[in-house]
């Protein structure tokens, strides 16, 4: 493993992004997203993805502006003009927060976005962005077709994550789950390590159960619990890509149109004057409850997000595999 200085990694990212004419404020969003994911321990969405984003910026550019293609008092749809996904969705979340901050009578609002380029990043980050501003945040995004329906063997929808974050008296509570049996990145990791994967995650090209990680691409992935996860993933697909004009059932990984949907609710509008306290009360009961034998005790989802509250509190260093660091410095 290589021990990486966060500020050094940030500086290098910044230079590389400015070299390919990414505006400084967009560069900062990209750096914050991928380095913040390292802080969260989500190394599958950390600097390992940066060379990939840079390649796309070189190809498609990253200097455009979001274009509003539909709007109402409570909703906006943006065409991201092939901005990087993490820039487009972060800007969409900023827009949503600005709208609700400026409209105290507004109980809820939504922003959808399409035509960004890969990748959409960690959805929990956008939900967190909304919750850190005091709102209940919901974030969803579509991706290339890789999940097969129950009874079927052809990839039809993406691994389509759902993230929900809510404010509390402490850090926001952040839930971020893929609707597939596992994250695609984890399958890639097993593949890199030459390991088999558990049953119930992929099927081979003939539709038979498989433990070969290559079958995520050669066959298909399954939904979490097969029909339940596929159902939720389909719901995400219908609320994102299908709603905003994204590709339908396309297996193309790269030159594609996905969709993201952000929803934010103002908790006070629903009659609860002590929502933050009630959220914390439930969370405290959970973390203080009895452990299962052999476990470290009950865990809340997204506990590490508390680390993101202030960039000045981010750790100075993080570790990545040597190969990831080499790819990063040689990009």
Show contacts with a copy of itself in window 173-202 (CB under 8 A): 173, 175-178, 181
Candidates 53-61, 189-197, 233-241, 305-313; binding stretch for a copy of itself (CB under 8 A): 233-241
Candidates 21-29, 57-65, 68-76, 314-322; binding stretch for a copy of itself (CB under 8 A): 68-76
Residue 183's nearest CA partner among 242, 251, 233 is 233
Candidates 43-51, 54-62, 263-271, 320-328; binding stretch for a copy of itself (CB under 8 A): 263-271
Candidates 20-28, 82-90, 239-247, 305-313; binding stretch for a copy of itself (CB under 8 A): 239-247
Cα(196)–Cα(234) distance, integer angstroms:
27
User: Using the rule CB under 8 A, is 97 a contact of a copy of itself?
Assistant: no
Question: Out of 25, 193, 194, 271, which residue is the one contacting a copy of itself (CB under 8 A)?
Answer: 271
User: Using the rule CB under 8 A, is 275 a contact of a copy of itself?
Assistant: yes
> What SS3 state is found at 324?
helix
What angle, 0 to 180 degrees and rounded to 10, lies between the N-to-C axes of helices 50-60 and 6-19?
A: 10
> What SS3 state is found at 7?
helix
Residues 4-43 that bind a copy of itself (CB under 8 A): none
Fill in the per-residue mask, 104 to 133: x = in contact with a copy of itself (CB under 8 A), - = not in contact.
-xxxxxx-x---------------------
Helix (H) or strand (E) segment spanning residue 69: strand 67-71
User: Using the rule CB under 8 A, is 306 a contact of a copy of itself?
Assistant: no
- For residue 119, whether the previous peptide bond is cis, meaning omega lies within 30 degrees of 0, is yes
Q: CB of 121: closest distance to a copy of itself in angstroms?
A: 18
Question: Out of 286, 311, 321, 329, which residue is the one contacting a copy of itself (CB under 8 A)?
Answer: 286
User: Using the rule CB under 8 A, is 264 a contact of a copy of itself?
Assistant: no
Six token digits for residue 284:
């405290």
Helix (H) or strand (E) segment spanning residue 140: strand 136-141
Burial 263-300 (b: 16+ CB within 10 A, else e): bbbbbeeeeeeebbeebbeebeeeeeeeeeeeeeeeeb
Candidates 31-39, 53-61, 298-306, 313-321; binding stretch for a copy of itself (CB under 8 A): 298-306
> What SS3 state is found at 204?
coil
User: Using the rule CB under 8 A, is 154 a contact of a copy of itself?
Assistant: yes
Strands 162-166 and 173-177: what pairing?
antiparallel
Between 172 and 314, name the residue whose CB sits nearer to a copy of itself: 172
């Amino acid at each position: 493993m290589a021990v990486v200085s966060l500020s050094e990694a940030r500086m290098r990212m910044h230079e590389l992004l400015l070299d390919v004419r990414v505006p400084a404020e967009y560069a900062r969003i990209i750096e914050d997203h991928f380095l913040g994911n390292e802080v969260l321990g989500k190394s599958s969405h950390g600097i390992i993805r940066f060379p990939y984003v840079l390649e796309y910026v070189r190809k498609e550019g990253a200097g455009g502006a979001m274009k509003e293609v539909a709007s109402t008092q409570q909703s906006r749809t943006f065409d991201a003009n092939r901005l990087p996904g993490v820039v487009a969705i972060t800007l969409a979340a900023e827009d949503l927060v600005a709208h609700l901050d400026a409209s105290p009578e507004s109980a809820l609002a939504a922003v959808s976005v399409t035509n960004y380029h890969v990748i959409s990043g960690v959805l929990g980050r956008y939900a967190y962005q909304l919750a850190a501003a005091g709102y209940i945040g919901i974030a969803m995004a579509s991706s290339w077709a890789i999940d097969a329906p129950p009874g079927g063997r052809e990839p039809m929808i993406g691994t389509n994550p759902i993230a929900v974050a809510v404010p509390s008296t402490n850090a926001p509570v952040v839930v971020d789950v893929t609707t597939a049996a596992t994250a695609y990145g984890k399958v890639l990791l097993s593949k890199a390590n030459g390991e088999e994967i558990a049953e119930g995650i992929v099927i081979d090209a003939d539709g038979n159960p498989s433990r070969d990680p290559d079958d995520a691409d050669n066959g298909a992935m399954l939904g979490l619990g097969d029909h339940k996860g596929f159902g939720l993933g389909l719901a995400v697909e219908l609320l994102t890509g299908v709603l905003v004009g994204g590709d339908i059932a396309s297996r193309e990984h790269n030159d594609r149109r996905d969709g993201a949907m952000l929803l934010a609710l103002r908790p006070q509008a629903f009659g609860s004057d002590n929502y933050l306290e009630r959220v914390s009360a439930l969370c405290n009961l959970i973390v203080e409850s009895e452990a299962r034998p052999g476990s470290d005790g009950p865990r809340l989802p997204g506990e590490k997000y508390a680390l993101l509250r202030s960039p000045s509190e981010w750790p100075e260093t993080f570790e990545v595999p040597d190969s990831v660091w080499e790819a990063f410095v040689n990009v």
